[in-house]
Amino acid sequence: MIEIRFHGRGGQGAVTSAELMAQTAIARGRYAQAFPSFGPERRGAPVTAFLRISDSPIRVREKIYNPDVVVVLDPTVMSVTRVDAGLKPGGWLLVNTHKSPADVKKEFGYAQKVATLDAMSIALEVLGVPITNTVMLGVFSKVLGQATPEDVKEPFLNRFGEALAAKNQLAFEKAYAETRLEE
C-alpha cells in the first residue's frame, strides 16, 4: 500500500486531487481511499487530504501519519506546516515551486527525496486559474508511476466535463513531461 498526504489551501483542489487519483487507481483495478481533513476553514486556509492506493482491500480508516509521499500544492504552507512530518525514510516530497529540488532541500532541511515543478505557471498558462491540483497529479504520476496520462482521461472527463477535462489533461501531461527530480 502507498499512502499519500496532500497539503494545500482551501480552493486549490487538494481534496479533488486525492479523489481523482483514487478514481484512477480503481479504474486500473486497484483499491483506493481518499478523504480530507479540515474543520470550518474557508478558501485560503491550510487543508490536508489523504490518499491510499493498494493492490488489496484497505481496512485502515484513519489519517495518514507516516506517508510514503507528500504532495505540496501551495509552497506557502511549508512556512506554517512541517509538511515532511512523518514522511517515511526514502519517501518523496513533491513541491509546487520554481525552485530546484536541491534548493528546496537546503532551504527547509528536508532529508527525503524531492521533486519540484512550477505548477502555478502551468496552471495559469493552460487552465487560466491558479489551481494546481491536476498539474501536481502529473508530478505525482511521473515520480511514482501510479498513472499515465492515458489513465487519468476518464476520471478527468467524469469530474470536469469535456472542455475542462481537455485543459486539465494538457496541464497534467505538461507536468508529467517537465517534472524535475532530485539528482
Biggest CA-to-CA distance, the chain: 42
Look-up of cell digits 496532500: 6
Written as tens digits, the pLDDT of the chain (183 aa) is 999 999 998 888 899 999 999 999 999 999 999 998 866 656 777 889 999 999 999 999 899 999 999 999 999 999 888 999 999 999 999 999 999 999 999 999 998 999 999 999 999 999 999 999 999 999 999 999 888 999 999 999 999 999 999 999 999 999 999 988 876
Q: Which CATH architecture has domain 2-181?
A: 3-Layer(aba) Sandwich (3.40)
pLDDT in tens, 88-132: 999 999 999 999 999 999 999 998 999 999 999 999 999 999 999
Q: Tell me the pLDDT of the chain averaged across its residues.
A: 92
Cα-Cα-Cα-Cα dihedral of 102, 107, 113, 114, to 10°?
A: -70
